[in-house]
Structure 1
């Protein structure tokens, strides 16, 4: 069996974040709920709001894409599989993610729907009102998978957010087979409590069938998975059937359970929480890089905690500091 040439390959929603300033009157005139997230269901709705927005900053986003950006910042080698349309924002996504050194060769999709985007309106008080159009991201098909790329990575990383539409769900199941047949590990993040509510049966099936080697969850997600308020019981039930379970607990730190052995770390000290967006994504980046570097579970958890602490102290879901230097200062 050949040695991997990449550390991690991720499959997820290919989304472009568009962030612009807006006043209270604009929020009200568009009938938006300030501070909330709403879905936009058509290209026309997304284009109409996009056209009305003021000058903004555009950057590639999406949960798993944010994780591979973090992996790249830590010096890991990585790739991404996700669907964009052949349009302006599709080109923005491709440029941004490849500029980070991420291998991204998924063919662009012609025609409707347009590239997924999250239109983020920031009011003067710093509140973010998000409007998400999933668009082309929901049309990732089995035929878009690059088997050689998946086989080349030590770990395949999948996001639960992409489990909603049928085509990507079938593609991710196929990708798991490709990775396991090549002797690689599969990591999966539950992504969100609402995702767990919608797909609990499928997620439990994947765990029962031994198709997930590394499972990421936060405290609420792991309890939701087993429909219990007993955190320790939920962890025990999942860890019994998952080779490596990683659970983040916000200010309480994080735990991992491997072969029945539980390891815990405290949250890293921070000056101030500015924006919690991307904390889980960057934790996963740090932990996965630790694993591909052959570090202990303890050190991998610390790396995840350092990455999460960095990202919550500034706006945006991706690292802004020298992450390799931060890790070296913490672990040597």
Structure 2
């Protein structure tokens, strides 16, 4: 097997986040699922945007955020995702390349427009996300470069993108290419609603040994296994995966690999400003440790440090020097 060109190559939604602080009352008034993520159509996206106060536009997307964290930690990364040939598409492409990530997916001409996520952030830092998938749901399988996928040590897939038909086919093709090249496949479940719609697919992939590293939170673990109890869920799933990582918000995280179990507490954060991207950056820190051959507990700690940084400010991508922060927190 040849040495990998990239540490991690990710396939995910190419989204620009539109973020605005709001009061809890607005969440209720708009009938939103507080703290969750909903898919919205064009009309609903316009309605929600009109209801927003002053907003910031920041390139996002779950897998792209993870790569931004990985790149900040010195990893070599590439991204595959679909934007439209429009202003937001140019913003996304510029931002991801500016942090050192290779992104060569050609823009899609004509409608629909580049995806955007309208995020309402309440005073406690909780984020309520409303995603218009736009062009991102039209990533064709034939656009994948199998040689590029084979050149990455880890293929990282975003569960959110499993919903639309075209990118789901593209990700299946990517999994086959990665496995044929002897590379590892990492998958993040993204949200319980994705599991409600596609849990059978995910369980089949796991049972077939197609996933090497799985990221989930407590709710996603319960939805996937049918076990409300955390320990029961871990016991049901861990034996089927080389690496299982489960985050528990303020309760920290646990990882199980080859019978080894590690747990860490959440990083202390003086003031939680915005929880957008916490799981994405946790995955970034964990994977950064994994590709360097760090032991399981240290990988978890790196994930917690990265997540703690991103929830201390608006936006789902790191603002502090993550490498310097790791030295302070981990030594």
- TM-score in terms of structure 2 length: 0.91
Q: Return the offset for 1:265.
A: 1.5
Determine the structure 2 residue equivalent to 1:319: 318
Q: CA deviation at 1:325?
A: 0.5
1:126–1:306 distance in 2 versus 1, CA, 3 Å? closer
Superposed, 1:37-186 pairs within 5 Å as 39-42=39-42, 46=45, 56-120=55-119, 130-186=129-185
The number of residue pairs the alignment matches comes to 328
Give unmatched runs, 5+ long, in structure 1: none
**Shift in Å, 1:148:** 2.1
Residues 155-212 of structure 1: CA deviation (Å, up to 9, x unaligned): 0000111111111111101101111111110000111111111111111000000000
Give yes or no for the alignment of 1:13 onto 2:13.
yes
2:58 is paired with a residue of what secondary structure?
A: strand
Give the Cα separation in 2 of the matches to 1:129 and 1:197: 19
Q: RMSD value over aligned CA atoms? A: 2.5
Change (3 A) 1:205 1:129: closer
What is the alpha-carbon distance in structure 2 between the residues aligned to residue 125 and residue 64 of structure 1? 25
Where does residue 308 of structure 2 map in the other structure? 309
CA contact (8 A) 1:268 1:306 kept: yes
Q: Deviations over 1:279-323 (max 9, x none)?
A: 110000000010111111111111001111111122221111110
Q: Secondary structure at the match of 2:171?
A: helix
> Where do 5+ consecutive residues of structure 2 fail to align?
none
The residue aligned with 1:281 is 280
Larger mean Cα displacement after TM superposition, 114-123 or 134-143: 114-123
> Is residue 192–residue 221 contact of structure 1 (8 Å, CA) maintained in 2?
yes
- Of the candidates 27, 30, 33, which is equivalent to residue 32 of structure 1? 30
Contact (CA 8 Å) 2:212, 2:242: kept in 1 or not?
A: yes
Range with bigger deviation, 322-331 or 124-133: 124-133
SS at match of 1:72: helix
8 Å Cα contact 1:142-1:167 kept in structure 2: yes
Query: Shift of the alpha carbon at 1:49?
Result: 6.4
Cα distance, 1:130 vs structure 2: 4.6
Give the conservation status (yes or no) of the 8 Å contact 1:243–1:258: yes
1:34–1:127 CA contact under 8 A, matched in 2: no
**2:243 pairs with 1:230:** no
